[in-house]
């Protein structure tokens, strides 16, 4: 049982967002969602169950986490212990391969990699669907990072029915995401707190559920048809409508900073100049710009000029969970 297992999972960027839970404990979302897994950002996690341990030991990016900071990790290990009918503690070592403190989504790759490494280290052989359900218990967005390419998380109505599935896993469509890192610091409001406040206090939350249903129905055929304009228009408006839930919460809050608004205008300027590109952003100030491969050079040139070379990272569709 002390065999160490290492798994790698990539982050994903939501094109139709998950923003709200119907069940906090099981992490069942209010709506389905759809994402693109990215090749540039990933987490490697090693897990070994060791009878010599008297508690779980969790190290992330060379730093040993306190019991409080490792609570979500230990919760997922508890689920794995229950499934494998044993009570051995584990040593978890994880490294986020996200350009230094870029403040890009980490919980998705982190909990997908942990689900893969912990389940296999415990001797379980889970299907990808069951890995997706397990990853969901750590962080909702991790449900989708089990798969590569374009992925849909079906909201479902209980633990068994809430899992992700690939819409298009082997992506031959020449599209890219240009990430613009505008603020490397950790956000003040976590995704978990932010979505809970939005569900509880935004009067627009019922409308958001209708927006998501409509956007999902429209974006799936557009992705399968490689309809770039349609996909771009949907992902940009979906992101803005998600962020409207933060501005309309009580108390209101926002993940935008001044540079975020400037960068949004830069994207609109690029479009006006004939370079097709669309932005989205998760629970942070950093923009991810969806574009076609032929336009990467022009877009990165403009962003590098306006925001600096270190702030621009080009990513492509990435793969699903793997074991190293």
Q: Environment class of residue 142 by beta-carbon count within 10 Å: exposed (0-12), middle (13-18) or buried (19+)?
A: buried
- Phi/psi of residue 157, nearest 5 degrees: -130, 0
Q: How far is the CB of 104 from ligand ADP (least distance, A)?
A: 7
Radius of gyration of the chain (CA): 19
Q: How far is the CB of 50 from ligand DP6 (least distance, A)?
A: 27
Dihedral of the CA atoms 260, 261, 267, 273 (nearest 10)? -150
Name which of 124, 20, 23 is nearest 77 in CA terms: 124
Please report, as residue ranges, which positions from 204 to 243 form the binding site for ligand ADP (by CB under 6 A): none
Of the pair 154, 192, the CB lying nearest ligand DP6 is at: 192
* Span of 23-31, 155-163, 282-290, 311-319 interacting with ligand ADP by CB under 6 A: 282-290
Of the pair 4, 189, the CB lying nearest ligand DP6 is at: 189
* Given 35, 45, 107, 132, the residue binding Co ion (CB under 5 A): 107
- Phi/psi of residue 15, nearest 5 degrees: -95, -35
* Given 191, 202, 246, 280, the residue binding ligand DP6 (CB under 6 A): 191
Dihedral of the CA atoms 286, 92, 146, 242 (nearest 10)? -30
Q: Is 191 in the site for Co ion (CB under 5 A)?
A: yes
Which residue in the block uniquely carries the two structure tokens 């935004």? Answer: 202
Looking at the DSSP bridge assignments, the partners of residue 36 are 13, 150
HSE-CB at 146 with a 13 A cutoff on CA atoms is 27
For the chain, helix, strand, coil in percent to 5 are: 40, 25, 35
Q: Is 283 in the site for ligand DP6 (CB under 6 A)?
A: yes
Please report, as residue ranges, which positions from 182 to 201 form the binding site for ligand ADP (by CB under 6 A): 190-191
Residue 14 binds what, of ligand DP6, Co ion, ligand ADP, none (CB under 5 to 8 Å, by partner type)?
ligand DP6
Please report, as residue ranges, which positions from 12 to 41 form the binding site for ligand DP6 (by CB under 6 A): 14, 17-19, 27, 33
Q: How far is the CB of 151 from ligand DP6 (least distance, A)?
A: 11
Please report, as residue ranges, which positions from 253 to 282 form the binding site for Co ion (by CB under 5 A): none
* Given 6, 94, 141, 260, the residue binding ligand DP6 (CB under 6 A): 141
Of the pair 19, 303, the CB lying nearest Co ion is at: 19
Contact between 209 and 155 under an 8 Å Cβ cutoff? The reply is: no
Q: How far is the CB of 83 from ligand DP6 (least distance, A)?
A: 20
- Phi/psi of residue 253, nearest 5 degrees: -150, 170
Q: Is 43 in the site for ligand ADP (CB under 6 A)?
A: yes
Give the residues lining the site for ligand ADP (CB under 6 A): 43, 60, 73, 94, 96, 105-107, 110, 139, 190-191, 282-284
Give the residues lining the site for Co ion (CB under 5 A): 107, 191
């Amino acid at each position: 049982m002390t065999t160490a297992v290492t798994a790698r999972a990539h982050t994903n960027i939501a094109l139709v967002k998950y923003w709200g839970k119907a069940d906090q404990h099981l992490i069942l979302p209010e709506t389905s969602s759809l994402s693109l897994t990215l090749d540039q950002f990933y987490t490697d996690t090693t897990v070994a169950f060791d009878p010599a341990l008297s508690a779980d030991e969790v190290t992330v990016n060379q730093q040993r986490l306190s019991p409080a900071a490792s609570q979500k990790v230990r919760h997922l290990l508890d689920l794995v212990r229950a499934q494998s009918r044993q009570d051995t503690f584990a040593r978890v070592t994880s490294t986020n391969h996200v350009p230094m403190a870029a403040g890009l989504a980490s919980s998705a790759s982190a909990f997908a990699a942990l689900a893969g490494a912990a389940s296999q280290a415990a001797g379980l052989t889970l299907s990808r669907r069951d890995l997706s359900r397990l990853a969901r218990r750590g962080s909702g967005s991790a449900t989708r990072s089990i798969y590569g390419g374009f992925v849909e998380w079906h909201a479902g109505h209980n633990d068994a029915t809430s899992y992700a599935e690939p819409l298009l896993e082997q992506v031959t469509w020449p599209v890219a995401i240009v990430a613009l890192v505008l603020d490397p610091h950790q956000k003040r409001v976590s995704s978990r707190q932010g979505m809970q406040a939005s569900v509880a206090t935004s009067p627009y939350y019922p409308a958001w559920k209708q927006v998501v249903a409509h956007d999902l129905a429209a974006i799936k055929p557009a992705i399968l048809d490689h309809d770039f304009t349609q996909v771009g228009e949907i992902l940009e408006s979906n992101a803005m409508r998600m962020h409207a839930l933060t501005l309309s919460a009580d108390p209101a809050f926002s993940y935008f900073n001044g540079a975020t608004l400037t960068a949004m205008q830069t994207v609109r300027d690029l479009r006006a100049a004939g370079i097709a590109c669309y932005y989205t952003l998760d629970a942070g100030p950093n923009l991810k710009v969806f574009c076609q491969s032929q336009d990467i050079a022009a877009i990165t040139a403009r962003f590098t000029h306006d925001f600096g070379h270190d702030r621009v990272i080009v990513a492509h569709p990435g793969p699903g969970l793997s074991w190293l």
